[in-house]
Structure 1
Amino acid sequence: MAKKPLGLPLAPPGPQYDFFSLLQEMILKAGDPSLATLAGRVHCARQVLHRATRGPKMPSRDLTKRIADALFDDDETRNDARSRLLAAWTQGVADARQAASSPAALMTPGTVSIKSPRCLLMDKLHDLYSRAGSPSISDVALTTGLRRSTIHEWVTGRSLPREDGVLALLAYGLGASPSEVESLTALHKTARKMKKMHDVTKDYI
């Protein structure tokens, strides 16, 4: 059975798109390993790696470095890949931040989608997970005492935590500060309330 291709980057044209294109190019150069194989080398969840190779959000610098280091055995090739990727990552992150703070992007109708509380909550959880170094789901489960399948569904946005206390347990396990946990809890309350009001499926609010 043929390996499923990564797919085109989901980032807008420019430095962010160039970063993802370069990363995919290097994966091909390294023999085009499967996401599962590469995720094992990088020590992160397959879904996290998939997002890191396509976007639309830029991965963390640490995860980018770990991917580069996992691709090549030869020191010279690995160092070159790491240097090029981190340079492209720096430009991509700068571009993403500029786009997010652009008055035109914030005020022009149709250029920015308004995210639901659920999407904002999942974004924050994913950011925490990336900031923690994208640890394996098993490691997070050991730290928090939560089930691996449950953690995976929350981090990937497939479902919402049922209780604030359990969400806080996961957040603290990923290194969140008390203020970040407070913000997550507020988003969680709003997201759960909207889910009940609109009686929607578990995947959307």
Structure 2
Amino acid sequence: MAKKPLGLPRVPPGPQHAFFKGLQDLVTSADDLPLKELGKIVNRSPQVMHRALLGPAIPSLELVKELVKALSELIGANPEEMEIRFRLLRSEALIDQRDRREVPGTSAPHDAAPPGGSGAPPAKNLSADPKTAEGDKHQNTQKETPKSAQADDQRRTFTALLVRLKDASGKTRDQLATDTGVTPSAVEKWLYGERMPTPKSLKKFIHALGAGEADSADLWRLHQDIQVQDD
């Protein structure tokens, strides 16, 4: 009996779709393992695996790490590099999901308001002066959302460039940590976009990566812009 295909991810086009499609492609590369077999590998039920590969809820980081590590070993890929890639894809998917919830009319169908209702919270859940609270909320959103979106884009670009340079260098996380004089955990956080290196660490890291003049300039520019946004 032929294996039933998973179907398309139940998410909107863009980063969320790219994340789930990437997971599905990884499964396909590993001899297209059935959900039951996948579940056994990571100690999860077939139902959990089905949701993890189709959405719409983005699976936990723990599950993604376990699944990517197991599948990478099955297909002979570098588990460390694959984990970095999928953590980045997951981060971008989460950001896209958040942005779609904040901007009216861009949510996926499963996020839509129920028929006959606007989906807005009742006035009694706002402050004592609903008009004032709502006005302040929209005013703050207009001021803060563009800045937040710009910072997110810059962080993604910075992290993606670090990952590309790491792959090109051929060095492992531990080797880069030794060359930079930091812990492997610190390098991991930089590559996952969870933390920014200090200027001193970035200078050493760029040298350890063997980055060219153009890439080095891009890293320094992005690093400075992100620091300004954070301030």
TM-score by length of 1: 0.50
Larger radius of gyration: 2
More RCO (CA 8 Å, sep 6+): 1
